[in-house]
Structure 1
Amino acid sequence: MVHARTPEAESLLTPAEVATMFRVDPKTVTRWAKAGKLTSIRTLGGHRRYRETEVRALLGGVPLQRSGQ
């Protein structure tokens, strides 16, 4: 059985969904993840997913806080 990493169920977005929000190519989103601008979560199938809260914070220009959330 797979458990979420956080106590509450967190909404995850696909690279295509993130790309649409930023109006960029999905490959750009993957590059951002590799550069450390976004935290990616890997599915069992190896696909990347992104936390909606983190994506919206980046979209709004809010500096990300890794601890104490």
Structure 2
Amino acid sequence: MRTKHAADHDELLSVGEAAELLAVHPDTLKRWERAGRIEALRTPTGHRRFRRRDVEHLLARSAS
């Protein structure tokens, strides 16, 4: 589910979409979020959403 965040217009990615971009299992991404490695936003129903820029930043850090 790709949406735009109303406040800053960042593209938001679901756990599956973000995990696919990072080439990790969704559980790994959730573990990274709990460890503070990446921030997740929550929908009103409690689902995680990740900012594309945060995912890309994490991807760039892991590539270097």
Q: Same fold (TM over 0.5)?
A: yes
Instruction: Classify the secondary structure of the residue corresponding to 2:33.
Output: helix
C-alpha separation between the residues in 2 aligned to 1:53 and 1:19? 14
TM-score (norm 2): 0.80
Instruction: Output the amino acid matched with 2:52.
Output: E
1:13-32 paired onto structure 2 within 5 Å: 13-32=13-32
Instruction: Classify the secondary structure of the residue corresponding to 1:60.
Output: helix
Instruction: Classify the secondary structure of the residue corresponding to 2:61.
Output: coil
Q: Does 1:48 align with 2:48?
A: yes
Question: Which one has the bigger strand percentage?
Answer: 2
Computing the radius of gyration over CA atoms, which structure comes out larger, 1 or 2?
1
Instruction: Classify the secondary structure of the residue corresponding to 1:56.
Output: helix
Moved over 4 A (4+): none
Q: Alpha-carbon deviation of 1:21? A: 1.1
RMSD: 1.7
Q: Alpha-carbon deviation of 1:27? A: 0.8
What 5-or-longer segments of structure 2 have no aligned partner?
Answer: none
